[in-house]
Structure 1
Amino acid sequence: MAKNNPIFKKCGCRGPVLDAAGTPVLDADGKPKKRRLGAGCPQLRRGTGWNPRHGSWHYQIEINMGPDADRAHLGRGGLATSDEAEAQITAIRTLVAISEEHADDPEAAAKIRAEIVERIQIALKDRTSLPDAVELRTAARVGQPIVNKTTVEQWLTDWLDGKGKIVANTKRGYATHVAKYLIPHLGQVPLDKLRVSHVNAMFNAIAEDADIIPAENAARREVEAAAKKAWKDSDPVAVRAAREKLATMPPYRRPANAATRQRIRATLRSALSAAQREQLITVNVAALAELESGKRPKALVWTDARVRRWKATGEMPSPVMVWTEKQTQAFLARAERHEHYALFQLVAFTGLRRGEACGLRWNDLDLPTRKMTVAQQIVQMGWETAITAPKSDAGARDVGLTAQSVTALKTHRKAQKKAKLAHGPGWIDTDLVFTGPDGSPLHPAWVTDQFKLLLREAGLPPIRLHDLRHGAATLALANGVDIKVVQEMLGHSSSTITRDTYTSVFDELKLAAADAIGAALTRTDNAA
């Protein structure tokens, strides 16, 4: 290359190493040594010009870093044209010149220049685009770090640590998303290098995993069933084989469905919004990621046909299933003998959430006027529990009670007073309606376990305890209660949530509607 010309051409060709006499130098095996020809390859030129079919363009420039600092050398190769090399040199010099805009503060200018050069060096090393001049100029003006070495993992960790003033269960949800999904997939990416493609790739991987997990869970259940059968048949060899196979199989996992993936995105979006406020990034890529809708699953009723199908195959028609009136009545008939019948009856009649029922106090009840105030809940965080305010502002609400619920609560209060007398002075006075044998709060997980036991004993198709809440909403809507009233009973912030999630309609009502239309259109007394 010409002297002082920062742009030159090189190739990867190799030629023999020659001694002073022009003789090839041999290696220890007697073979000619080779060296890269680089810019000296004769094939780089064609006549008086460059050979467009051989080699690639490179550049190498020096940057003056100040009187007391060594010069910085910046360069890149593999470029298709000399014009591209010239454009990059111009762009680099423009970026470095940003530091000269702060010449009134030499110390600050030197620091800015060093950071800009470091950013350029990182881009050249990673073979990525040069930094944006507007971004660097803005960062230099407002004192934002020009070189951001924070990784996504470091930022998510700091962000979580700073989330002190949020509901504990919300923070726990954030922590789960960060630990299980965001850090494993994105943690090592520099925060300022996080792109939409990274986020899309993460969600594609999570979706693929969600498709695999049900089959893995089913395979594990089959092996566990085989182990139980072998144990029952007194076949130790088969038991050992099944256990050895189980040890190699993935544990049970819950797939991250579309709704869960939307919540994971919401966590990332919140964290990146905080990074934007700190001026660490300029774009919230989580908001731009492509993600399928996390539409709430439609609640379906356990009709006779669906029950028969479930008994034959074990398949659940929907993640959210609702009992018919007769099925709910059958459950309550069995639950009536349970010490906490009033709790299950209250959930079935009013749609209370599990935590709201566990956190209900006698002080929140006005039995003579048949009113109940939802003022607190007991939430589960891992295994630990905590008493918190309702889930939202709309969750703090007044709910009307049926005469049956008032009767059940009065009976329960008498039983609780007897238990308190029987326990003696060690009774824990919490004012809670539903308590353990010593007056302590009920653990929400215990309530769920009791519910599952009761529905099995009643011979009913499975639903979740939360689905009793769905059933209360569905029964209310099916019997003509206005959706706004149902919304307020459930503590929803919007009737849209109520409509989208809980408006299952029993087949009998669908048939009744069809019959009404048919009757109207076939009447013979209509005027001509």
Structure 2
Amino acid sequence: MGRLKKRADNRYTVTRTIEGKRYYFYGRTQAEARAKADAAGDRAKAGSPVRDATRTLSDWLAEWIETNLALSDRAESTKTMHAGYCRTWIIPTIGSVPLSLLSVNDINRLQLRMVAEGKAEATRRNCYTTLRKALDDAVTNGLLAANPTHRVRQPGVTRNEARFLEPREVTALLAATTSHRYSNVIRFILGTGLRRGEALALRWSDVDFENAQAKLRGSLTRRNGELVVSGVKTKASRRTIALSPSMVDLLKSQRAAQASERLHAGPRWGAHDFVFATTQGHPVDPQNILRTVRVAAKAAGLTAVTVHSLRHTYATAALLNGVALKVVSSNLGHASIQITADTYGHVTDDAARDAAAKVAKALGL
């Protein structure tokens, strides 16, 4: 129960020893003081800290960036993104609040500031996710009993239907890329649905011609001015994809062309083993692929076409031609099938209607 004492200011104090340490709980009434002491005891029994830490949120985030975040298996680009949200938004807005006093209103205040400054839904959601992950780790580290972000509704994001190319548009785009060095990269992304960085990180040692498949181990990105292969976005992104006969032929053609360039470059050739490389064997800047798509799209008279449109085109064609949603999701490297369903909802609806008609016909209904 603990020892109850009335103070000179007419408040009450309950003194209780919890896990070998003495704590004092104050209240305007005896019931309030005892309730606080009981709550602390319940927290200790549940394995939570008796009291939340009084250190500021900014102090914890600085440590979190250097420890939990740095040691996580997230991609380097994701770690950089989370650290950026901490330094740009969270710390300047609510960083001075002690962890023990962090409330739902503080989290709402952060979101309201971002709204006031015109930040997009996706940006606000990413910032919320950063704070949620940091505070989850604070709970794990015994600094908080509960994460207040879980009492705040996650900011919604309006999903726009993915832009994909019709068959005639694909034909026009590919015709416009024939004179470009990286036309094979464009074709490969269209034929596999890979992300740009994944295609550019592919090495010959990852390609299995005999079994017509390729292993994806990383993504090529530019970080601190240098091109590096970082870890894949998620565990689902680390995958093996099947290669169609046309993609196998494309890679064989690419290998033959590269062998000629390697012979011409001689000792200047960079021994990186990249499937798609510069004329001297070095990694290809992802921006060059973006420029190739933009130039080719303009020449073909197409609008709103990006490198990601190629990935969407692959997924759309697969779904409309009866490939199971789970298979498409796996090929794309999505973290969950729900992401695929959300992104290609309009396509799966069409595929479902087509499937229903086929079943009815097969059953003679």
Shorter chain as denominator, the TM-score bin is 0.7 to 0.9
What residue is the counterpart of 1:170 in the other structure?
78
What residue is the counterpart of 1:256 in the other structure?
120
SS in structure 1 opposite 2:70?
coil
Please show how residues 60-99 of structure 1 align to structure 2 within 5 Å: 86=10, 89-90=11-12, 93-94=13-14, 97-98=15-16
Q: Is the 8 A contact 2:262 2:281 kept in 1?
A: yes
Amino acid at match of 1:274: D
- Counterpart of 1:420 (choices 259, 262, 266) is 262
What residue is the counterpart of 1:265 in the other structure?
128
What residue is the counterpart of 2:179 in the other structure?
337
SS in structure 1 opposite 2:241?
strand
What residue is the counterpart of 1:192 in the other structure?
100
Amino acid at match of 2:287: A
SS in structure 1 opposite 2:117?
helix
Please show how residues 2-41 of structure 1 align to structure 2 within 5 Å: none
What residue is the counterpart of 2:63 in the other structure?
158
Cα distance in structure 1, aligned partners of 2:196 and 2:248: 19
Cα shift at 1:429: 1.0
Cα shift at 1:191: 1.5
Using structure 1 for the length normalisation, give the TM-score.
Answer: 0.58
1:380-423 per-residue CA deviation (whole Å, 9 max, x = no partner) reads 44644432343333323332323332333223222212222222
1:289-345 per-residue CA deviation (whole Å, 9 max, x = no partner) reads 1334335x242xxxxxxxxxxxxxxxxxxxx32221211221111112211211110
| Structure ID, larger Rg | 1
Cα distance in structure 2, aligned partners of 1:505 and 1:146: 51
Cα distance in structure 2, aligned partners of 1:147 and 1:366: 54
Amino acid at match of 2:133: S
- CA gap 1:473/1:135 in 2 versus in 1, 3 angstroms: same
- Counterpart of 1:460 (choices 282, 295, 302) is 302
Q: Is the 8 A contact 1:380 1:386 kept in 2?
A: yes
Cα distance in structure 2, aligned partners of 1:448 and 1:146: 52
- Counterpart of 2:37 (choices 122, 125, 133) is 133
Please show how residues 422-437 of structure 1 align to structure 2 within 5 Å: 422-437=264-279
- CA gap 1:366/1:276 in 2 versus in 1, 3 angstroms: closer
1:14-33 per-residue CA deviation (whole Å, 9 max, x = no partner) reads xxxxxxxxxxxxxxxxxxxx
Cα distance in structure 2, aligned partners of 1:383 and 1:504: 39
1:196-215 per-residue CA deviation (whole Å, 9 max, x = no partner) reads 011112213323433xxxxx
SS in structure 1 opposite 2:221?
strand
SS in structure 1 opposite 2:278?
coil
More deviation, 466-475/178-187: 178-187
1:249-277 per-residue CA deviation (whole Å, 9 max, x = no partner) reads xxxxxx331x3333322221121122223
Please show how residues 24-423 of structure 1 align to structure 2 within 5 Å: 86=10, 89-90=11-12, 93-94=13-14, 97-98=15-16, 101=17, 132-134=36-38, 148-162=53-67, 163-166=69-72, 167=74, 168-210=76-118, 255-257=119-121, 259-294=122-157, 297-299=159-161, 320-381=162-223, 383-423=225-265
Cα distance in structure 2, aligned partners of 1:132 and 1:495: 45
- CA gap 1:143/1:406 in 2 versus in 1, 3 angstroms: closer
Q: Is the 8 A contact 1:172 1:381 kept in 2?
A: no
Q: Any stretches of 5+ residues in structure 2 without a counterpart?
A: 1-5
Cα distance in structure 2, aligned partners of 1:417 and 1:147: 63
What residue is the counterpart of 1:496 in the other structure?
338
Cα distance in structure 1, aligned partners of 2:304 and 2:346: 17
Q: Is the 8 A contact 2:52 2:100 kept in 1?
A: no
Amino acid at match of 2:61: L
Amino acid at match of 1:165: L
Cα distance in structure 2, aligned partners of 1:392 and 1:468: 21
Q: Is the 8 A contact 2:193 2:314 kept in 1?
A: yes
CA RMSD of aligned residues (A): 3.7
Amino acid at match of 2:70: G
Q: Is the 8 A contact 2:55 2:99 kept in 1?
A: yes
More deviation, 140-149/332-341: 140-149
Cα distance in structure 2, aligned partners of 1:456 and 1:209: 34
Does structure 1 residue 478 correspond to structure 2 residue 320?
Answer: yes
Amino acid at match of 2:37: A
Cα distance in structure 2, aligned partners of 1:363 and 1:335: 27
Cα distance in structure 1, aligned partners of 2:144 and 2:279: 55
1:437-487 per-residue CA deviation (whole Å, 9 max, x = no partner) reads 221111223322332232223221123212211110001111222223222
- CA gap 1:487/1:506 in 2 versus in 1, 3 angstroms: closer
Cα distance in structure 2, aligned partners of 1:144 and 1:394: 35
Cα distance in structure 2, aligned partners of 1:143 and 1:494: 31
Cα distance in structure 1, aligned partners of 2:123 and 2:205: 37
Amino acid at match of 1:487: S
Q: Any stretches of 5+ residues in structure 1 without a counterpart?
A: 1-59, 63-74, 76-85, 211-254, 300-319, 521-525
